[in-house]
Structure 1
């Protein structure tokens, strides 16, 4: 499973979504393995565009590849989530905000 870390984007959800599409979408689409997108933490206003992005990427990639996403700056929590997704072959299109 590959990891694509998305740095902090705009505080405004629409601007952040536009930036993601402009700068990161093509990299996510071109991944040839299962993919974990790692977003920087953001408030609840970013949840919907992030979830929509990961769900559409999962639809495009399926059934051969899976795409999931987390929001965290904690490397240990990200590693645990990556391990979970690697061992859960039926899980795709999910976005999790990690508490740790």
Structure 2
């Protein structure tokens, strides 16, 4: 009987299993506002996107450093990129 704070509420948990990490997604919503089929489709799409993102991170060429990786230094992203480029050029 209470008003909904949000149209869709999402919770996600990653658990370590014998087959590796497993993501569980829980969605809840007021039935008067959203159709269950629409929410299920959204949930499946979200899980597919997260699966793709996780797969991308296993590629050794993915990503790079950000200023937060160097907390003892005051670097902006351009400086980090320059350092990485210089380091890569020195080790070709």
TM-score w.r.t. length of structure 1: 0.28
The answer to which structure, 1 or 2, has the higher relative contact order (CA under 8 A, 6+ apart) is 1
Q: Which structure has more helix as a fraction of its residues?
A: 1
